[in-house]
């Protein structure tokens, strides 16, 4: 049949195009077999942490490696050397991991941060009130007995308790709470208090995003807000009683903040904001967007100001005007697009162009369902 | 609680987090299932239906597992996986290039990838045309087939292919053109026959 037609480059292109859209189907068994085999190779977070811990003892292996070929020692002799080395580790020169161990009450003076633990990962477990944990890009202060299941540089898992987190701006930091909530942090200071399935998050600065894992509902908490979450998908923002209870935190110690001209516009803008000079802060954030190195952060701050003013038309306009800034941001891109989209809806912009762009860019995100609903409502 | 989460609705990053941090095998299986078809199609397109192809698909997912904690979430997970798939396949091609001899019937695989709509004249033409193209592609050298598949079928930009294969853009481009030229020649011969 085909031999009656001449195969030309256009038809070749057509063939390629057809091929592009072809995805074969495989049996579930075949896929599960591949998944099972590869699962064994995953570098699980706990194992990686253990490997890191083992590095503290690696000099035994180093001795073994160096001396065995050089001296031609027998296995028995190596064992003696290793034994000697291990005895040395017990004399306090090297900290065994149990020093910061699970369920061992910690004397107040023994704050983890007081030790030089650059090579020693922090063991999870129950931490008493007053314990301070210093991570490369975050500091955690335990405010009430807290049970940590996992502590790594940018990832925490807690089962219960209350702790204050200070995270360096721009760090992608995550906290899983009892496998029920995921708290995503975009550089900020906040406390988490979790007990009886209820999570209270209070944000002092920056932005925290709380994801209820069962319902996949995401709530963004800007600075000076406090909210209670339950794992049944309800939060109590609207409750009068709780609104009273979780009254936004008042500014304190900020009135005397001094502007520091040597710093970036972003820094100065934040200082101005702390000092209550919103107008100046807006100008400074605009300057950072136009000339600074961190335009995305400045845009985020600016959008937050307009959010408090409920000026949604301005937020939508900012999001449209600074599309390139949003696209260039790793940390704030998704959040700014969501804010732009919601603001378009609230300000009556029926094009909902930002919402559509968001769906194209993040089709499977937690917020995609919510954004689809916004578009469908139209 | 964890079992109540519908994994199908979670995004790739969360699934990977669950697998790495909670040792959740179901999350990992869901992630593998999402991409198995695409990865397998790419591997088979590049390698042909050789006895090694199924192993390479498996190897891709093992490599993906090994490298999982290096994924920094600054690009889509599919891009990260795609890179692994192409690099793994390329390595395998280099390893076995001396013995890449496919049986002629094996290339039927790509035909089977197509939907099973009832045959009419148009679909028969499409199938016959696809078979001819696939047969001709099979006769290309592995290097040429690789760049042609990546560029024309997978739609990867030239500079990305160049980065993946660690070869200059010009070399990749000229190899694509050579492959196309050879393919057109092969197809013209087939048509004449």
DSSP assignment string, A26-70:
--HHHHHHHHHHHHTT---HHHHHHHHHHGGGHHHHHHHHHHHHH
Q: What is the pTM of this model?
A: 0.40
Q: For residue B122, give both structure tokens.
A: 């148009």
Average pLDDT for residues B23-52, to the nearest whole number? Answer: 85
Per DSSP, A235 falls in state: B
Q: What is the pLDDT of residue B126?
A: 67
Q: Determine whether the interchain pair B37/A24 forms a contact, defined as Cβ–Cβ distance below 8 Å.
A: yes
A260 touches chain B (CB under 8 A): no
Q: How far is B191 from chain A (nearest CA, A)?
A: 5
Q: What are the beta bridge partners of residue A157?
A: A150, A176
Residues of B in contact with A172 (CB under 8 A): 73
- Which residue in B126, B132, B83 sits closest to B107, CA to CA? B132
- Please indicate whether residue A123 or residue A24 has the higher confidence score (pLDDT): A123
Calculate what percentage of chain B has a pLDDT beyond 70: 76
Tokens for A171, please give them: 């760090």
Does residue B32 have a pLDDT over 90?
yes
Name beta bridge partners: A207.
A222
What is the model's pLDDT at position A185?
75
User: Under an 8 A CB cutoff, do B25 and A12 touch?
Assistant: no
Of A3, A35, A43, the CB nearest to B28: A35
DSSP state of A96: -
Q: Which residues of B touch A178 (CB under 8 A)?
A: 1
- In chain B, residues with a C-beta closer than 8 Å to the C-beta of A40 are 65
Tell me how many residue pairs between chain A and chain B have CB atoms under 8 A apart. Answer: 145
Q: ipTM strictly over 0.85? A: no
Backbone angles phi and psi of B102, in degrees to 5: -85, 150
Of A210, A183, A188, give the one whose Cα is nearest residue A300: A188
User: What pLDDT, on a 0 to 100 scale, did the predictor assign at position A144?
Assistant: 87
Contact B65 A231 (CB under 8 A): no
B 88-147 → A contacts, CB under 8 A: 110, 112-114, 121, 124-126, 128-130, 132-133
Whole-number Å distance between alpha carbons of B102 and A123? 54
- Mean pLDDT over the full length of chain B: 76
Task: Give per-residue pLDDT as tens, A38-54.
Answer: 888 888 766 666 655 55
Please answer yes or no on whether B183 and A12 come within 8 Å at the CB atom.
yes
d(CA A188, CA B133) in angstroms, rounded, equals 57
Q: What is the reported pLDDT for A53?
A: 56
pLDDT in tens, A135-167: 877 888 888 888 888 787 777 888 888 898 888
Contacts of B189 (CB under 8 A, 6+ apart): none
Q: How confident is the model at residue A21 (pLDDT cuts 50, 70, 90)?
A: low
Q: Work out the end-to-end distance of chain A between its first and last CA atoms, rounded to an integer number of angstroms.
A: 50
Q: pLDDT value at position B5?
A: 63
Q: Is A59 exposed, middle or buried (0-12, 13-18, 19+ CB in 10 A)?
A: middle
A1/B110 CB distance under 8 A: no
């Amino acid at each position: 049949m085909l031999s009656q037609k001449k195969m030309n480059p256009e038809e070749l292109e057509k063939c390629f195009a057809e091929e592009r859209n072809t995805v074969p189907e495989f049996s579930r068994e075949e896929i599960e077999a591949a998944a099972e085999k590869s699962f064994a190779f995953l570098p699980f977070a706990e194992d990686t942490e253990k490997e890191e811990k083992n590095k503290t003892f690696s000099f035994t292996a180093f001795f073994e490696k160096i001396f065995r070929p050089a001296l031609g020692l027998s296995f028995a002799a190596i064992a003696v050397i290793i034994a000697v080395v291990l005895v040395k580790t017990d004399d306090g020169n090297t900290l065994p991991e149990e020093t910061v161990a699970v369920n061992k009450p910690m004397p107040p003076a023994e704050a983890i941060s007081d030790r030089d633990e650059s090579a020693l990962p922090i063991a999870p477990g129950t931490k008493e009130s007053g314990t301070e944990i210093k991570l490369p890009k975050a500091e955690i202060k335990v405010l009430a007995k807290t049970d940590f299941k996992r502590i790594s540089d940018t990832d925490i898992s807690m089962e219960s308790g209350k702790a204050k987190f200070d995270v360096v701006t721009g760090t992608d930091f995550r906290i899983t709470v009892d496998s029920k909530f995921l708290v995503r942090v975009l550089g900020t200071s906040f406390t988490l208090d979790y007990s009886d399935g209820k999570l209270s998050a209070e944000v002092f600065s920056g932005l925290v995003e709380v994801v209820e894992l069962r319902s996949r509902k995401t709530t963004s908490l800007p600075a000076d807000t406090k909210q209670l979450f339950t794992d049944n998908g309800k939060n109590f923002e609207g409750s009068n009683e709780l609104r009273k209870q979780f009254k936004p935190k008042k500014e304190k110690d900020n009135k005397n903040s001094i502007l520091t001209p040597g710093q970036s516009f972003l820094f100065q803008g934040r200082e101005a904001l702390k000092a209550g000079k919103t107008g100046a802060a807006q100008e400074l954030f605009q300057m950072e967007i136009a000339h600074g190195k961190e335009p995305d952060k400045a845009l985020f701050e600016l959008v937050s100001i307009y959010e408090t003013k409920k000026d949604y038309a301005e937020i939508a306009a900012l999001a449209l005007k600074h599309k390139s800034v949003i696209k260039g941001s790793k940390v704030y891109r998704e959040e700014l697009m969501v804010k732009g989209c919601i603001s378009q809806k609230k300000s009556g912009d029926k094009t909902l162009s930002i919402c559509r762009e968001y769906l194209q860019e993040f089709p499977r995100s937690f917020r995609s369902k919510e954004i689809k609903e916004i578009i469908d409502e139209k | 609680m964890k079992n109540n989460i519908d994994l199908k609705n979670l995004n790739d990053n969360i699934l990977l987090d669950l697998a790495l941090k909670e040792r959740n095998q179901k999350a990992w299986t869901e992630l593998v299932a999402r991409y198995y078809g695409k990865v397998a199609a790419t591997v088979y397109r590049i390698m042909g239906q050789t006895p090694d192809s199924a192993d390479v698909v498996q190897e891709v997912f093992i490599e993906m597992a090994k490298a999982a904690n290096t994924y920094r979430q600054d690009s889509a997970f599919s891009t990260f996986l795609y890179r692994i798939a192409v690099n793994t396949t390329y390595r395998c091609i280099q390893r076995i290039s001396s013995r890449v001899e496919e049986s002629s019937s094996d290339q039927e695989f790509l035909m089977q990838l197509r939907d099973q709509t009832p045959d009419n004249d148009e679909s028969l033409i499409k199938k016959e045309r696809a078979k001819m193209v696939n047969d001709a592609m099979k006769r290309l050298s592995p290097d040429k087939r690789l760049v042609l598949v990546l560029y024309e079928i997978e739609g990867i930009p030239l500079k990305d292919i160049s980065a993946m294969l660690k070869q200059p853009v010009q070399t990749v481009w000229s190899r694509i053109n050579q492959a196309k030229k050879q393919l057109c020649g092969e197809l013209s011969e087939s048509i004449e026959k």
